[in-house]
Amino acid sequence: MTNLSGLLAAICLVPVLSAPLLAQTEMPLYPGRVPNAKEAENQETNENNVVRNVSKPTLTAFLPPAGTGNGTAVIVCPGGGYGVLVIDREGYRVAKELNKAGIAAFVLKYRLPNDRVMQDKAVGPLQDAQQAIKTVREKAKEWRIDPAKIGIMGFSAGGHLASTAGTHYDSTFIDNPQKTSLRPDFMVLVYPVISFDGKIGHKGSSANLLGASPSAERVRYFSNDSQVTTSTPPAYLTHAGDDTVVPVSNSIRFYEALNAKGVAADMHIYSQGQHGYPKTPSFDEWFGRCLHWMRTNSFLTTQ
């Protein structure tokens, strides 16, 4: 009876494993063991679309309707100060809007740094971002994606993660036997945390990722304006001058660093908007400018 039960279970799994990806599909980020993880109880919660204690990262694919895709893909990193993930407002909703523009979107539910579940919490989120890029690039043909048009988009602390992926791609923190490129082709950074410099850095994000008393070396390593090179991907930045949570200096410094290295970058600063753009600018306003930049730089073609 035991052998028969096992056989039936295996047979039942075949349609699931061979089924095509649906329009919206959440999948484990890693096919096997999660790297850099400790054996610990999963304490993840989701209350009002704010996710806490993520230790089992996932990637949710939002594919545009058949015949409407243009080959561009964007991995979306929600914000939340590396303490929570604003998974709907800065994740799923954005993915659906990307689909309307023919863009395949992948919402990354990345691990939130925590010594309880990680051996080195500072690199956990970056590992997940690299794994997301690797996954999308290796499955590009299956998902009808141009492997040279895979970008990463991040909000607030998610913007820090996206910019970390764009500036640290040549340091591999995951298994990558096929030597797949971990470099995003472009970055879209929305009111991002960039620097952990004490004058402009977001203290909450820094403490959650690096701990209460990080070394000067580690602060510099994760201050991404200090890590820009001539091969850093092009970027679009948007921020508000009246942001009192993450000062606009973060975006300005990153733009200046990109410009100094000859990396193509656009930046739009709103005089009003605060952190999170709760009232102004409207979604269509700032998002429309992002799409315009993507078209201008040939990362997005109109069908």
Domain contains 285: no
Read off the pLDDT band of 302 (50, 70, 90).
Answer: low
Read off the pLDDT band of 133 (50, 70, 90).
Answer: very high
* Strand ranges across the sheet with 24-28: 24-28, 58-62, 104-109, 73-77, 150-155, 186-190, 235-240, 265-270
What is residue 24's predicted lDDT score, i.e. its pLDDT? 85
Read off the pLDDT band of 224 (50, 70, 90).
Answer: very high
Read off the pLDDT band of 151 (50, 70, 90).
Answer: very high
C-beta atoms surrounding 263 within 10 Å: 19
Q: What is the number of structural domains in the chain? A: 1
Residues 31-71 pLDDT 10s: 999 999 999 999 999 999 999 999 999 999 999 998 999 99
What is residue 198's predicted lDDT score, i.e. its pLDDT? 84
Residues 191-214 pLDDT 10s: 999 999 988 989 999 999 999 999
Whether the link from the prior residue into 192 is cis, omega within 30° of 0, is no
CATH code assigned at 172: 3.40.50.1820
What share of the chain in percent tops pLDDT 70? Answer: 92
Domain that holds residue 163: 43-228
Contact yes or no for 134/140 (Cβ under 8 A): no
Residue 300: pLDDT above 60?
Answer: yes
Residues 69-104 pLDDT 10s: 999 999 999 999 999 999 999 999 999 999 999 999
The set of residues, in sequence order, having a beta carbon less than 8 Å from that of 70 and lying 6+ positions away, is 101, 102, 103, 300, 301, 302, 303
Mean pLDDT for 223-251 is: 98
Domain contains 267: no
What are φ and ψ of residue 265, in 5° steps? -150, 140
Domain contains 171: yes
Read off the pLDDT band of 22 (50, 70, 90).
Answer: low
The set of residues, in sequence order, having a beta carbon less than 8 Å from that of 154 and lying 6+ positions away, is 76, 77, 79, 160, 161, 162, 163, 187, 188, 189, 190, 192
Mean pLDDT for 10-27 is: 55
Mean pLDDT for 166-176 is: 97
Domain contains 65: yes
Domain contains 196: yes
What is residue 154's predicted lDDT score, i.e. its pLDDT? 98
What is residue 20's predicted lDDT score, i.e. its pLDDT? 52
Read off the pLDDT band of 106 (50, 70, 90).
Answer: very high
Give me 130's structure tokens: 């690299």
Instruction: State the DSSP H helix or E strand holding residue 46, giving kind and residue range, or none if neither.
Output: strand 45-47
Domain contains 128: yes
On the CB side of 25, how many CA atoms lie within 13 Å of its CA? 14
What is residue 303's predicted lDDT score, i.e. its pLDDT? 53
Domain contains 174: yes
Read off the pLDDT band of 21 (50, 70, 90).
Answer: low
Domain contains 197: yes
Residues 278-293 pLDDT 10s: 999 999 999 999 999 9
